[in-house]
Amino acid sequence: MRAFHSLALLTFCFLSASRAAEYFPLDPGNRWTYACEGCSGNEAVVSVLRLGPGFIQVDFLGTEIKVSFTPRAGELDIELPGEGFVPYYRFNEESWLHRDVFSCDDRREIAAASPEEVVETPAGTFSGCLRLDYRDGLCQDGGTLSEWWKLGIGRVKWIENTIAGPRAWLLKSFEEGRKPTPFLRGDANGDGKVDISDAVLTLIWLFGGGAQPTCRDANDSDDNGQIQLTDAVRVLNFLFLGVGTIPPPGPFVPGFDATPDDPFTCGDPPLLICHQTGSSTLPGVSFDLLDNPCTFTLAQAAQGVSLVYRTKIEHDLPRTTSFSLDAGACDEPDESGLATLEVITGGGQRYCICDSGRCSGTSHQRDLASGIFEHSFQWDGKNWEGPSDTLNPKGPPFPPGAYELTVRARGTYLDASGVEQPFDISASAELHLVQ
């Protein structure tokens, strides 16, 4: 049973790293049940609980672990106590050193053995499976020997060591969880409109033992995280007295829940895996943008969201010059010693504080100290390029869509020979706005 931990990683190897996410079904509520071959009644279950900023929360045998990955790079990490995120799977490599919460599989090498194997399981026959083999360090009574993965499904089989010899675990069933579905708040019966029948359904369900609503998020008319009399009253007041409002997405245009951390999940917005791309020509310095949610509703953005990034400096860099990248050369270095510019763009939309007027300084020399420096800035979902020196007003809100958050710094540094060299550091991450 100790080998069961790998069920958390429903991934694939050998194929292009940009396709890694296709082999990792991550809808909350996804559930995989495995049967032990030759073991009477033994089953193992894994389920995806939720996605967080930069990680996936997975539950297996009552144990929760955090896994993070970068699909484009094919890298998947696991959080270990006292170590943070460390290498777990490397889908673009033929072999790698595997870290794990179970000592029998920790610090063992995994090798991609074959990408085209056929596996028969109680859930069906799967062709084109990737086999991974574990090497060295095997415990006498525990640890994984081999495992098989299938596109769009995840791990369909693994073999573990026991004191009585190897035994196989096979996929018995795969149950898909919640698929993000837009809804009208107040539409308790799910017929696509908000009317008196929705209030009646709520009252009958609460007090007459009637059928329950099809989606609790839709039934939660006041969005307080509970289904109660006030939900029916809110709909009736709105329909017949013109009193009060119905919270986002409202009663007219289908959308997603602006409070996805409530107890109801049926109307939550799509949860996307956070990932980023980036480059740096300043040795040992990079930006990390992965502590942000990938998805915001329009209502959340309008209320203001805080976007976070970290500047990572691996070693001291004396006499480093950073350039102000805004139009008026007003940007000053932050505590990392770099002057950075944050921009959100896409689909003809643009947000940045890249025009704050005219300033005198264009370059700033600092001694950069090693460390990790966290920064944040606020965004209200609108177009803007900064206040200028004429109190430039903000533009219209970004519409729903996919956008890109980019952080950049440029300047010069002294190389090992004392020669001044240019540098350019950038990182970009996807942001999605939904109704």
Kind and range of the H or E run holding 242: none
Q: Is residue 269 part of a domain?
A: no
Residues 304 and 393 in one domain: yes
| C-alpha–C-alpha distance, residues 225 and 214, integer Å | 16
**Token pair 């008026």 in the structure block, residue:** 328
268 belongs to a structural domain: no
Number of CB atoms found within 10 A of residue 383's CB:
15
- Pick from 175, 193, 227: which residue ends a domain? 175
Region 227-249 average pLDDT: 93
At 233, the pLDDT band (50, 70, 90 cuts) reads very high
E-state strands within 91-239: 95-98, 108-121, 124-135, 144-150, 154-160, 167-175
Examine the pLDDT at 312 and tell me if it is beyond 60: yes
Residue 266 in any domain: the answer is no
Mean pLDDT is lowest, of 48-57, 248-257, 412-421, for 48-57
Phi–psi pair at 415, nearest 5 degrees: -80, -175
Residue 322: its pLDDT value, please? 96
Token pair for residue 355?
């025009």
Instruction: Provide the residue range defining the domain that includes 182.
Output: 178-261
Q: Is 131 domain-assigned?
A: yes
- The answer on 293 and 233 residing in a single domain is no
Enumerate long-range contacts of 56-65, CB under 8 Å, 24 or more apart.
56/8, 56/26, 56/273, 58/7, 58/8, 60/4, 60/5, 60/7, 60/8, 61/1, 61/4, 63/5, 63/101, 65/5, 65/8, 65/101
Q: Are residues 297 and 413 in the same domain?
A: yes
Q: Which two tokens mark 284?
A: 């040992």
Q: How many domains does the chain have?
A: 3
SS3 205: helix
Across residues 232-238, what is the average pLDDT? 96
**β-pair type (95-98, 108-121):** antiparallel
Return d(Cα 344, Cα 429) in angstroms, integer.
10
d(CA 309, CA 324): 18
CATH of the domain at 205: 1.10.1330.10
Determine the average pLDDT of the residues in 246-262. Answer: 84
Which DSSP state fits 164?
A: T
pLDDT digit string (tens) for 193-215? 999 999 999 999 999 888 778 88
Question: 282 with 208, same domain?
Answer: no
Q: How far is CA 390 from the centre of its chain?
A: 39
pLDDT at 393: 94
Indicate the pLDDT class of residue 47, thresholds 50, 70 and 90.
confident
pLDDT number for residue 367: 96
pLDDT tens track for 351-390: 999 998 888 778 999 999 999 999 999 999 999 999 998 8
Q: How many CB atoms lie within 10 A of CB 167?
A: 17
Question: Long-range pairs for 324-327 at CB < 8 Å and ≥24 separation?
Answer: 324/359, 324/361, 324/362, 324/363, 324/364, 325/354, 325/408, 325/409, 325/410, 326/352, 326/353, 326/354, 326/355, 326/356, 326/386, 327/354, 327/355, 327/386
Residues 110 and 31 in one domain: yes
Q: What angle do CA 7, 151, 27 make, to 5 degrees?
A: 60
The answer to whether residues 282 and 232 belong to one domain is no
Asked if residue 169 and residue 42 are part of one domain, the reply reads yes
The stretch 65-90 carries a mean pLDDT of 79
Q: What are the phi and psi torsion angles at 181 (to 5°)?
A: -135, 120
Q: Are residues 193 and 171 in the same domain?
A: no
Contact between 435 and 252 under an 8 Å Cβ cutoff? The reply is no
Residue 46 bridge partners (DSSP): 32, 60
Residues 149 and 107 in one domain: yes
Q: Are residues 155 and 223 in the same domain?
A: no
Cα–Cα distance between 23 and 179 in angstroms, integer? 17
- Domain assignment present for 339: yes
- 333 has pLDDT over 90: yes
Q: What is the mean pLDDT of the chain?
A: 85
Residues 345 and 396 in one domain: yes
* pLDDT (average), residues 216-244: 94
